[in-house]
Amino acid sequence: MAVFTPVHEAEAEAFICRFGIGTLHALTPIAEGVENTNYRLDTDQGRFVLTLFEGRIDARDLPFCLGLTRHSADRGLPCARALTDAEGQSVGRLNGRPAAILDWLPGVAKTEPSLDDHAAAGILLARLHLAAADYPGTRANPVGPAARQALFERCKTRAVGADRRLLDRLAPWVAEGAPDPAADLPRGAIHADYFPDNLLFDASVPSGLIDFYFACVDALAYDLAIALSAWGFDAHGTPLPAALAAFQSGYESIRPLTAAEREVLPELGAVAAVRFTLTRLHDRLFHDPVALVTPKDPAPFLRRLDWWTGAALAA
């Protein structure tokens, strides 16, 4: 979550009236994250999230993303439902951006999750994959091979020094024709951004899975590899073996991996590391200093690439 597009109370009031959620009491910017503009809405009927979708997500993909979180909530997962107006529409426009209002979910993200939290997070990811098995929507991976190659080429236009050396390390993974380890694996709707800051906890219980805006149809094991890369390393990119094991064990207690998935999991982890190294480098190189957001350091994800490729060699 972040703030790129300013919204004043009068503008918010004009937008929310169509959703029938009462009178606005407070509009509070949410500064965490790097993708979309988010505000907390407090009205006389409750608390909600107002999201303005910035340039990285195509408005045509929003029905898939918002539909998946509703589909998951309908199957008992702690996911937010987007509100609909009198015409049944979830997405409108506010200050030149597509915008939606979602239920506010309780809980807080954990900056230092315990091993039990890791296991619970793995269980929830597996439950999501099973719950989404009959979700009818389709969306190609917005950060798939072609998008990663385009990000790489754009970063080259500004990268110098250490950043250029970083790109040199990533070059083999984004070259045209690079092998796709996800080919022929079980597929379905995935979250594709399953980071600790996108999972809220109420004490030890997951209470809110948020930010489905990278969701797409791809290999289920790739989603697990993304999650392991997010949960199983410290802030510097150093692996946490017990955390990795706890998360994967939790996941496989609900959905065991196939032999093929298990074999290529390190390669999928390497692809995940390349993806997030690239997106973080891009966000830093093209950062708008006016935006109320702090770009994240790409280096820790490059260290994850080293670990995943080492794990692949060890296997």
**DSSP-assigned states of every residue in 201-238:** EETTEEEEE---TT-EEEEHHHHHHHHHHHHSB-TTS-
Can you give the pLDDT at residue 126? 98
Give CA–CA dist 57/35, Å, rounded.
Answer: 9
Give CA–CA dist 278/168, Å, rounded.
Answer: 12
Give CA–CA dist 55/66, Å, rounded.
Answer: 17
pTM: 0.94
Going residue by residue through the chain, which has 315 residues, state the pLDDT in tens, using 9 for 90 and above. 467 889 999 999 999 999 999 999 999 998 765 678 999 999 999 999 999 998 778 999 999 999 999 999 999 999 999 999 989 999 999 999 999 999 999 999 999 999 999 999 999 999 999 999 999 999 999 999 999 999 999 999 999 999 999 999 999 999 988 888 998 999 999 999 999 999 999 999 999 999 999 999 999 999 999 999 999 999 999 999 999 999 999 999 999 999 999 999 999 999 999 999 999 999 899 987 766 567 789 999 999 999 999 976 665
Q: What are the strands, taking DSSP E only, across the chain?
A: 24-30, 37-43, 46-52, 92-94, 97-103, 108-109, 187-190, 199-202, 205-209, 216-219
Yes or no: say if 51 and 99 are a contact pair by the CB < 8 Å rule: yes
The CA radius of gyration of the chain, in Å to the nearest whole number, is 19
The helix (run of H) or strand (run of E) holding residue 110 is none
Q: In Å, how far from its chain's centre is CA 158? A: 26
Can you give the pLDDT at residue 55? 73
Which of 211, 263, 233 is CA-nearest to residue 80? 211
> Length of the chain, please?
315
Point out which residues pair with 209 in neighbouring strands.
79, 199
Token pair recorded at residue 109: 């993200």
Token pair recorded at residue 256: 């065991």
Yes or no: say if 226 and 198 are a contact pair by the CB < 8 Å rule: no
